[in-house]
Amino acid sequence: MVPRIVLTRHGLASSRSLLLHYSKTATILHCGIRHLATSSATTPAWNVNELAPKVTLAMDETIRLQNSLGENDAKWLKRTTATANATGVLRIAVVGETLSGRTSVVDALVGNPGASLVPEDADKTYTLSYGTEVDQKTTDSDVAMSCPSDWLKSSNASIIVPPALDTLDSNPNYSLQDPILASDIIILVTDSRRVLSSPRERGVLRSFTSAGKPTAVVVDGLTTDGSTTYIMKGVDIGMHGSVPGILPPSIKPYTKPTSTKSITDLQQLITSPSTKPKSTLSTALLALSRLKARELDAQKLLSAVSHKITSLAGALKREEARVHERFVDSDLGIIERISARLVMAVRYALDDVPFWKLFWKVDGLSYDVRKQVDENTLVETEYRMTHTLGRLSETRDVLITLSSSSLSSISTTLSESTHPILHTLSHDLSRIRDTNLTALKNILPNPFSLRNEIATFHAAKGLDGFQTRVGTLVGRQFVGQSLLGAVLLGSVYLGVPWAVALPGGGLLSALGLTWMALRWSSMSDRFVGEISAEQKTLRERLLASYDTEFESTVVNPLSEVVTLAQQAVTKQKEEVSSRISRIEKVEVMVKELLVTIQQ
């Protein structure tokens, strides 16, 4: 409830008079604005006795959350505890800038219009309470003053007057929260010439009124109707600028204002039955807002940490893909080129032996093929494969260093926070770095695994069988041609004319040689194909062996570290979400009670 009151001086030495305008107003609830017009300034629609236990429960739940979630500001723990254990004293905070009329409002409330009890340029907090005579006790930062005010006595009230708002800029050690949160209602006094135009005045509304703190805006204005209307428009503009969404007030002017009537209405507003519970709930709401803001900040930081770990995982995968691609394109590429040269060399060696030369070169065929194999040996690639695995070890060390550096950076950032969840996550990430990453340095790839694959590889292991098959082909052809010659001679001996025997015998011999040529071409093609297939098998075996070493020493261990880090972050994010849900549950309770009070 944010009443707007226009107050000027009347009956005093000043040329102004006291004029008060009271308006039905809106109350700030939830994350936006909820507008509830008040039907009466003095008669609530709720039962005080029924509501009091609920207000107490809401404050107790707030304190319980502060203790369980770890409120890091001891002042706020004291504030909520003091509010929960507060006596029936009604505390009123009167704030404003220099020459805003705040001291005049204080004097009018306590019934001392003749002289100012609080100096205009006071640099300490004044607390006025009832006493049989005017007396004061001064400390370094406070002045406790007693005065014989009937209203303070009858209302069991005290007035807190902090230094002028515009003087606080020069005193950074002074906290305006202390006197305001120690009060039950704020009386914000503003000058008619600059109604709520000061950022300090709007800051009070934005910081406290928006959280449900009972607040009355008092304007030291002129007495004419025109100026009053102008002043109230200024109040509306200031309220909209400070607390966006508030509804324009419906103003009820007093046609014959008097000083007594104006102050009486203000005093009745202050002593409204809703003031105490609203103030208690406002303090609870502010405390919950602090806790929630802290958890939301932690949630935001955890999301950033999760993004960094995801980025780390992406960087590791990109580097792993680059290293693997380099092996396939560069290292295996060399073997493929050597294998291609070997296949072509064997092909040329076999093509240089036509089928008819096999009759006298068949025994040296295997020698020619082995010579080509020896000239295109893979011995040099054995050392290259050893170097490749050494390079893989270096890559693993680089990736381990990258992961360790990233986790250290995240852990350092988290350790700077006072949030217990972030501290726990910082410890978990440090443990993962010191334990899991350190253990990876002991997992080394076998430097001879690829070399052994090449050393045990035989490029022409089917050469002996090929030699045997070619020898069989030549032997059968020789026997066949010999038998054909014998048959031809026998037929001539038996009387077949040479003119008949020679063409027939020649045709059969040509058919035999043609079959031999085709058979030789097929056998050589098959043998070259076998060598080519063996070369492909070698590539697959090398790639499989490299993948095994790569995954067992680099990919899987680093992936496990990243997964552990992500799981640690996810666990803490779930914990923060749970904490936020607990806060929001109590927030709903507090806001529902504030709604009830406004009805």
The three-state secondary structure class of 69 is helix
Whether residue 566 is predicted with pLDDT greater than 50 in this model: the reply is: yes
Please give the mean pLDDT across all residues of the chain: 76
Position 577 confidence tier, pLDDT thresholds 50, 70, 90? very high
User: What pLDDT does residue 224 have?
Assistant: 46
The three-state secondary structure class of 45 is coil
User: What pLDDT does residue 341 have?
Assistant: 74
The predicted model gives 458-486 an average pLDDT of 70
User: What pLDDT does residue 236 have?
Assistant: 63
> Phi and psi (nearest 5°) for 204?
-60, -45
Position 562 confidence tier, pLDDT thresholds 50, 70, 90? very high
Question: Per-residue pLDDT tens for 178-235?
Answer: 888 888 888 888 877 777 777 887 888 777 776 677 888 887 654 444 556 656 666 6
- Taking Cα atoms as reference points, which of 424, 593, 584, 592 lies closest to residue 65? 584
Contacts of 150 (CB under 8 A, 6+ apart): 111
Position 10 confidence tier, pLDDT thresholds 50, 70, 90? very low
| Residue type, position 196, single letter | L
DSSP code, position 271: T
User: What pLDDT does residue 26 have?
Assistant: 32
How far is it, in rounded angstroms, from Cα 289 to Cα 507? Answer: 109
Query: Which tokens hold the place of 479?
Result: 């026997």
User: What pLDDT does residue 20 have?
Assistant: 42
Whether residue 104 is predicted with pLDDT greater than 60 in this model: the reply is: yes
Q: Domain residue spans in the chain?
A: 4-37+59-272, 296-461+529-589
User: What pLDDT does residue 299 have?
Assistant: 93
User: What pLDDT does residue 40 have?
Assistant: 36
Contact 233, 23 (CB under 8 A): no
DSSP code, position 223: S
Helices marked H in 352-378: 358-361, 365-375
Position 443 confidence tier, pLDDT thresholds 50, 70, 90? confident
User: What pLDDT does residue 18 have?
Assistant: 39
User: What pLDDT does residue 15 have?
Assistant: 30
Whether residue 12 is predicted with pLDDT greater than 90 in this model: the reply is: no
Which pairing describes strands 4-6 and 215-220: parallel, antiparallel, or unpaired?
A: parallel
DSSP code, position 92: E
User: What pLDDT does residue 416 have?
Assistant: 86
Whether residue 505 is predicted with pLDDT greater than 80 in this model: the reply is: no
The predicted model gives 547-568 an average pLDDT of 89
Question: Per-residue pLDDT tens for 269-279?
Answer: 888 888 888 88
Q: 4-37+59-272: which CATH topology?
A: Rossmann fold (3.40.50)
Which pairing describes strands 90-96 and 185-191: parallel, antiparallel, or unpaired?
A: parallel
Q: What is the pTM of this model?
A: 0.69
How far is it, in rounded angstroms, from Cα 547 to Cα 332? Answer: 13
User: What pLDDT does residue 543 have?
Assistant: 86
* Partners of 159 in the β-ladder: 92, 128
- Taking Cα atoms as reference points, which of 224, 225, 226, 250 lies closest to residue 236? 250
